[in-house]
Amino acid sequence: MKKIAFLLIGISLTVGAMAQTDPHKKADMQNLRTDVREKKAASHKVNKDLSHVKVKKAIHDHKAVAKQNKDIRHHSEALKNRGVSHPVAKAKRQVRVQDDNRKDHTN
């Protein structure tokens, strides 16, 4: 009888934990990581244009960076509403780890 009771309690806890996971949170975090990666590349492009004194092109590219900032802020707010603390910092950290892993395995 005790075994059945413990089994039912364990199953109910497992089902409760699985029901709390949000499938949209994972997709939103992936979108945020993509936005962070694109913003980083666009920022490098702007800085490269400025260093080569291509001001007009740098201004145009900076508008893309501003759009990326807007997308990052939008996805960040959505994730904060879903309970993720510091989503932008987590996304930056995850991007850095993914890039480092990609570098390590390509040798």
> Could you give the CA distance from residue 79 to residue 105 in angstroms, rounded to a whole number?
31
- How is the chain split into domains, by residue range? 23-105
Distance CA 63, CA 49 (A): 13
pLDDT tens, the chain, 107 aa long: 888 888 888 888 888 777 666 777 888 888 899 999 999 999 999 999 989 999 999 999 899 899 889 989 998 998 999 888 999 999 999 999 998 988 887 65
Segments in 1-107 forming alpha helices (H):
2-20, 23-51, 55-81, 87-105
User: Residue 83, Cβ neighbours under 10 Å: how many?
Assistant: 9
Provide the whole-model pTM.
0.69
Task: Give the integer Cα–Cα distance in Å for 37 and 88.
Answer: 11
DSSP letter at 83 equals T
The pair of three-digit structure tokens given for residue 56, joined into one six-digit string: 């007009």
